[in-house]
Amino acid sequence: MKTSWRCAGWLVSSALMILLIGCNSNKGENGKPVAAGGGNGNELIGAGSTFVYPIMSRWISDFQAKNPAVQINYQSIGSGGGIQQLTKGLVQFAASDMAVDDQKAADIAGGVVQVAESAGPVCITYNLPDLKEPLKLSAASLSGIFLGTVKTWQDPMIKKDNPGVKLPNTAIAVAHRSDGSGTTNIFTTYLSAVSPQWKSKVGQGLSVNWPVGLGGKGSEGVTGIVKQTPGAIGYVELTYAETNNLPVVLVENEAKQYVKPSAESSTAAIDAYSSELAKDVRTPIVNPPASAKEAYPISGLTFLLIPKKGSDAAKADQLKKFVTYIIQDGQSISSGLHYSPLPSSLGQIDMKLLDQVQAGSAAGM
């Protein structure tokens, strides 16, 4: 989910950009992030997910307004990059759209706490200028498109999803991420859940070997391909689609309902997995059961990764305060930025996990 700071204005609305002042990342002369131990003693540096970038910027702005002595810089470099920088001790926290497993968590000095901080939909966007109605796609049609077995917009499977709709007689052009991405992980986790063929041939992860299509770097790259290519289809965060006036697919869920991606429909997906999340907050929330009739099936949680022990007690304390704000008061602005507020039950789990964070000594911090 990599994006450049120079493209930030293209990625989010002008209104949001006002809130980003002061949130640019600190970098050295070689363009690499400044190590976490350098610079202002009250400075916190985070890196990772572009999925969470718009709301993270707002959270930082709001928190700093009430805590002016603290400076927080968030580098929107993608989930994989954030995890790598946290592992190397270059940042105080990371954000990822994929929770790390126990093996990767062990690579982070002193251990790591993972708390869910937001959720949202990964939407399927397309470029069909003559289509007058929202496109609907079933799990079978969607997996077939990205497997390359559904090749044209007049394929019988797509026609079945869209009865009476005049579809173009053109080839489908698939766009996907070329870089490691948490958005890709959410989408491929969904495809693996609904398609045995996808699971066996491609699988899931931050990056996969795509059977078909053209890769774009970052969500902005995928958005660019879709905008410039009639007949194209791709997957991006909802903010990217709305900022670029691109339509989104209504995806069929297990209840056989075609659901629009939204904060509310992603919240329904979280609610469907409340019992599982209580046992392990890393549980994927894709493809909820049929009982969740209003749930959007391609939804995902974003996680904050925080070292359990840091070498700087003051920074550890400020980081805990910032994360506490995100989990509690910060959730109130989620819906307005197309994210799903965390249910109170999940917020309580997060606070218990955050209790594990303490000042201490950790290599590289």
Can you give the pLDDT at residue 359? 56
The verdict on 116 and 254 lying in the same domain is no
The verdict on 104 and 161 lying in the same domain is no
The maximal CA–CA distance of the chain, rounded, in angstroms, is 65
Q: How far is CA 297 from the centre of its chain?
A: 14
The verdict on 104 and 26 lying in the same domain is yes
Spatial separation of the C-alpha atoms in residues 230 and 210, rounded to whole Å: 21
The verdict on 348 and 320 lying in the same domain is yes
Count of structural domains within the chain = 2
Q: Which domain holds residue 354?
A: 5-120+300-359
Nearest 5°: phi and psi at 100?
Answer: -80, 145
The verdict on 133 and 238 lying in the same domain is yes
Can you give the pLDDT at residue 104? 84
Within 8 A by CB and 6+ apart from 135, the residues are: 126, 128, 162, 247, 249, 250
Can you give the pLDDT at residue 24? 38
Can you give the pLDDT at residue 311? 67
The verdict on 110 and 142 lying in the same domain is no
164 within domain boundaries:
yes
Can you give the pLDDT at residue 177? 93
282 within domain boundaries:
no
- Neighbour tally for 264: CB within 10 Å: 16
Q: Specify the 3-state DSSP secondary structure of 42.
A: coil
143 within domain boundaries:
yes
The verdict on 36 and 94 lying in the same domain is yes
Give me the helix-helix angle, 182-194 and 79-87, nearest 10°: 120
Of 246, 269, 292, the position where a domain reaches its end is 269
The verdict on 145 and 87 lying in the same domain is no
Nearest of 176, 155, 151 to residue 226 by alpha carbon: 176
Within 8 A by CB and 6+ apart from 266, the residues are: 119, 120, 121, 285, 295, 296, 299, 339, 340
- Pairing status of strand 250-252 against strand 258-259: antiparallel
Q: How far is CA 111 from the centre of its chain?
A: 23
Both structure tokens of 184: 């890709």
Can you give the pLDDT at residue 297? 98
156 within domain boundaries:
yes
- Neighbour tally for 19: CB within 10 Å: 17
Spatial separation of the C-alpha atoms in residues 95 and 326, rounded to whole Å: 12
Task: Output DSSP code: residue 33.
Answer: B
Which helix (H) or strand (E) is 341 found in, with range? Answer: none
Contact, 233 vs 172, CB < 8 A? yes
284 within domain boundaries:
no
Within 8 A by CB and 6+ apart from 303, the residues are: 95, 96, 97, 98, 99, 114, 115, 116, 117, 281, 282
Task: Output DSSP code: residue 225.
Answer: H
Both structure tokens of 109: 């000095």
pLDDT lower than 50: segments of the chain:
1-39, 360-365
Both structure tokens of 31: 């363009």
Can you give the pLDDT at residue 160? 97
The verdict on 103 and 138 lying in the same domain is no
The verdict on 87 and 195 lying in the same domain is no
The verdict on 142 and 264 lying in the same domain is yes
CATH number of the domain enclosing 132: 3.40.190.10
Of 221, 250, 269, the position where a domain reaches its end is 269
What's the pLDDT tens digit per position in 263-298?
Answer: 899 999 999 998 999 889 899 999 999 999 999 999
336 within domain boundaries:
yes
286 within domain boundaries:
no
The verdict on 77 and 192 lying in the same domain is no
182 within domain boundaries:
yes
Nearest of 250, 287, 285 to residue 267 by alpha carbon: 285
